[in-house]
Structure 1
Amino acid sequence: MQGLAEFIMRGRRQATLVVGLSVAVPLLFWFGAVVLALVLLRRGWSEGMSVVVWGALPALAWALIGDPTPLLVLLGSAALALLLRQRSEWSLVVMATAPLGLVFALVLMATLQAPLQQLAEQIQAALPQMLSELGEVDEAALARLQTMLVPLLAGLMGATHAAMTLVSLILARAWQARLYNPGGFREEFHRLRLAPWMGVVLVLAVFGGPQVDGLVLLAPVATVPLLFAGLALVHGVVGIKRLGIGPLVVLYVALLFVWQVLYPLIMILAFIDSLFDFRSRLKPVSGGGNDDSNGQG
């Protein structure tokens, strides 16, 4: 990977080649988004613009044949990379995934209307039986839920796409740090914490969105910043207490199997941390200096 990174950073031609080929190959678009974000983080818009334009051409081709995901993830990762380079503040970048996910959801709802409608109809057919197994069915609540299915599904897809863009940026930042600022990304991520107003706004969107007609899209996308802020909290606490990689492995494995429980728990922790800042109250096992540099050129 070190050799590939050095090849990518030699110039725009090499970066464009890697991005274009990655996006053109099915299921490798995420790697193209990582490479594009790396170029923009290091070189900025002036040198990265041509990489964005030429690299987006195969993604546009995918969109024209019915798959907008590569294009959305590529452009979303580029936007987040430019924001991080400009502001160097992860809380803003993570918060930006909510409006970005909302844009994704609206685009997907417009471009994938037929598939979403078909999926919603299948869920509608199964809902009465599923709810009856849980107890008495509220007909009014069931009817309202059925009307919200299409925007809810679009919101879930938008949230998934937003998460993919943020993961691509995280991988790019980690790669950048390994090349130019070893250890820098770890310290950045461990310090990631939402501001109190961010936590309040996101929680209101998560719980209030489904209560207002037309805003159901907000609920799924608002969970993305809370999830990543919560994961950063766990990473930060593990790092402060020097617990090793074991607790993190357990966390991510558990997320695969009991995400229904852990996902909301992590979001709640992120919200509480935005108000009380747990990490500032913890005493590290041993002292160590912080490196605030971000590896930008």
Structure 2
Amino acid sequence: MRGLAEYIMRGRREATLAVAIAAAIPLLFWFSAAALALVILRRGLSEALPILVWGMLPALVWSFLGDLTPLLVMLGSSALAVVLRQHNDWLRVLLLAVPLGVVFAVALLMALGEPLQALAAGFREMLPELLGQMGVQLDEAARAALLARLDELMIPVLGGVMGAMHMLMVLFSLMIARSWQARLYNPGGFRQEFHQLRLTPLASIGLLIVVVLAPQWPQLAMLSPVASVPLLVAGFALLHGVVGIKNLGTGWLIGSYVLFVLFIRFAYPLIVFLAFVDSLFDFRSRMRPPSGSRGDDDSNSQG
């Protein structure tokens, strides 16, 4: 990856080729967004604007074909890269990603309204069978009330989930760009930033309130998945920070991510809750030795 980052930073022509070609290749939009964000982080938006224009051309083609993801991820990563360059503050980036995720959710709901309606209708038809398999017995009135509630919430929640997924892709691309920047110009810098990332108590309380209460109103239901993303990222930062302080090695991180994928239904809320509690008690400061953790400052370590 270092070689690719060096190629991108050689000049505008090389960066334009990397961004445009990656944007045109299926499933490589994240690399295009990361390359563009790297240019913005290092050289600023004015230098990156011509590259952004060329990179948007294949992304717009994908949009006309029905796939908004390359365009949304590219624009989102660029916007947050500008914020990170100006303020050097990951907390600000995470909080600004929330309204960005809402915009993504609305755009995707508008673009994918018919497929989502069909998906919701299919699930509605399967619900009685699913309830029977789970051993849940409902009378006609209770079943009608449940279906009515699902009809209100399903589309907004699906939109919120898609917005949250695109938020994660944007943040993933930005983190890749930041790690490239650190490898080239500030070894160990991104690792230190990420290990220290922690939400403030006020931010985490506000986000958790939205996550828990937003589904009570169909008009706000899409906010719940979106608001959980900063807590999720902060939870993973906590995990990386603890592994760094304890010098546990990358095997622990790999195993943790595998378990997260396998048991995401339970792991997701657990990590969100740990991030919330960490914002109140700051576990890493309590675990770190008084003299500081040598492993946490090791620029050659991975994590």
TM-score tier (shorter): over 0.9
Residue 246 (structure 1) shift: 2.2
How many equivalent residue pairs? 291
Contact 1:97-1:163 within 8 A present in 2 as well? no
Q: What is the CA deviation profile of residues 48-100 of structure 1, one whole-angstrom value per residue up to 9, with x for unaligned ones? A: 11111211111011111211110001101111111111111111112222211
Partner amino acid, structure 1, of 2:131 = L
Aligned partners of 1:274 and 1:229: how far apart in 2?
Answer: 9
Aligned partners of 1:209 and 1:75: how far apart in 2?
Answer: 27
Partner amino acid, structure 2, of 1:182 = P
Partner amino acid, structure 2, of 1:70 = P
Structure 2 spans left out of the alignment, 5+ residues: 298-303
Task: Flag as ranges the 4+ runs of structure 1 deviating above 2 A.
Answer: 1-4, 131-134, 136-139, 283-291
Identity percentage of aligned residues: 56
TM-score, L = length of structure 1: 0.94
Partner amino acid, structure 1, of 2:257 = Y
> Match for residue 44 of structure 1?
44
Q: What is the CA deviation profile of residues 111-144 of structure 1, one whole-angstrom value per residue up to 9, with x for unaligned ones? A: 1111111111111111222234332344323321
The 5-angstrom pairing of residues 1-297 of structure 1 reads: 1-134=1-134, 135-137=136-138, 138-139=142-143, 140-284=145-289, 287-288=292-293
Q: What is the CA deviation profile of residues 215-244 of structure 1, one whole-angstrom value per residue up to 9, with x for unaligned ones? A: 011011111111110000011111111111
Give the CA RMSD over aligned residues. 1.6
Contact 2:152-2:218 within 8 A present in 1 as well? no
Residue 281 (structure 1) shift: 1.1
Name the SS of the counterpart of 1:214 in structure 2. helix
Name the SS of the counterpart of 1:280 in structure 2. helix
Aligned partners of 1:278 and 1:147: how far apart in 2?
Answer: 40
Moved more, 138-147 or 241-250: 138-147
TM-score, L = length of structure 2: 0.92
Q: What is the CA deviation profile of residues 239-258 of structure 1, one whole-angstrom value per residue up to 9, with x for unaligned ones? A: 11111122211110101111
Aligned partners of 1:82 and 1:113: how far apart in 2?
Answer: 31
Partner amino acid, structure 2, of 1:159 = A
Aligned partners of 1:285 and 1:66: how far apart in 2?
Answer: 55
Partner amino acid, structure 1, of 2:169 = M
Structure 1 spans left out of the alignment, 5+ residues: 292-297
